[in-house]
């Protein structure tokens, strides 16, 4: 059993890495990964904390050939016991091993996907997209998308800011509740999480979503009251200079 505090993974969700622009990344779902890549060698693209966490969680189940990174300063060094490679120099090995690449980037996943396409690599996945297919990240992304649909389209800059704040409140609330959630140590990439753990995760998401919705409602009411006070100060007994 382990405490579920995978913050580098949550960062991918918070930065909406589960909604890439690249079509291949969007289609590279958890289910597709399970059916096509089971037991095959993987390479990770991006030398960061999400990459580190993936290695810690799943290296025993998936053979990882190495880490790809565009930073020349990192080439030839080791990260979590694995060599950091120039993507182009590692290309022959990737193709020979028929390996897939998992892009563990938050903001540059689309650019990395384009780079892999140019190199001739066709089987690649976004870690954010994979996470959105397993619990509890799956429940979280559904709530975030529902929140986005509820607030769209934004009618003003204040509405856009309020939506962003509501989203952040939801993330913070959920992360705090997840500190007390204990899940099975079995990999969600090899099998689904325990049913009871999934129900706990879903309940935590629901509570967090309700809390964020209430915060959103209160924020809107406060904004309306403030606007009325600015337009009609004497109505509330607030005179000039007070």
Query: 220-241, pLDDT tens digit by residue?
Result: 555 544 444 444 444 434 443 4
Domain 2-131 fold is: Rossmann fold (3.40.50)
* pLDDT value of residue 38: 86
Q: Residue 142, exposed/middle/buried by CB under 10 A (0-12, 13-18, 19+)?
A: middle
Residue extents of the structural domains in the chain: 2-131, 137-236
Distance CA 154, CA 13 (A): 22
CA distance 86 to 89: 5
0.75 surpassed by pTM: no
Distances (CA, A) of 176 to 171, 173, 205: 9, 5, 11
SS3 174: helix
| Cβ–Cβ under 8 Å, residues 212 and 173 | yes
Predicted confidence (pLDDT) per residue in 143-191, tens digit: 888 877 776 565 566 666 666 666 666 666 555 554 444 343 344 554 4
Residue (of 89, 98, 85, 73) closest to 45 by Cα position: 85
pLDDT digits (tens, 9 = 90+) for 104-145: 998 899 999 999 999 999 999 999 999 999 988 898 888 888
């Amino acid at each position: 059993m382990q405490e579920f505090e995978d913050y580098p993974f949550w960062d991918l969700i918070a930065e909406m890495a589960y909604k890439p622009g690249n079509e291949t990344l969007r289609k590279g779902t958890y289910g597709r990964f399970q059916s096509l890549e089971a037991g095959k060698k993987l390479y990770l693209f991006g030398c960061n904390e999400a990459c580190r966490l993936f290695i810690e969680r799943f290296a025993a189940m998936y053979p990882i050939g190495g880490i790809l990174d565009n930073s020349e300063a990192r080439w030839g060094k080791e990260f979590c016991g694995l060599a950091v490679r120039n993507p182009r120099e590692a290309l022959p090995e990737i193709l020979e091993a028929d390996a897939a690449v998992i892009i563990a980037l938050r903001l540059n996943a689309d650019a990395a996907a384009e780079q892999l396409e140019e190199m001739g690599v066709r089987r690649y996945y976004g870690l954010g997209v994979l996470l959105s297919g397993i619990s509890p990240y799956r429940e979280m992304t559904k709530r975030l998308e529902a929140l986005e649909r509820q607030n769209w389209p934004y009618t003003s800059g204040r509405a856009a800011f309020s939506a962003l704040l509501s989203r952040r409140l939801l993330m913070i609330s959920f992360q705090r509740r997840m500190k007390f959630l204990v899940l099975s140590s079995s990999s969600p990439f090899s099998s689904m999480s325990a049913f009871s753990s999934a129900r706990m995760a879903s309940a935590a998401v629901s509570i967090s979503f309700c809390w964020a919705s209430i915060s959103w409602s209160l924020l809107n009411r406060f904004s309306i009251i403030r606007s009325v006070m600015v337009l009609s100060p004497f109505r509330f007994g607030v005179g000039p200079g007070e």
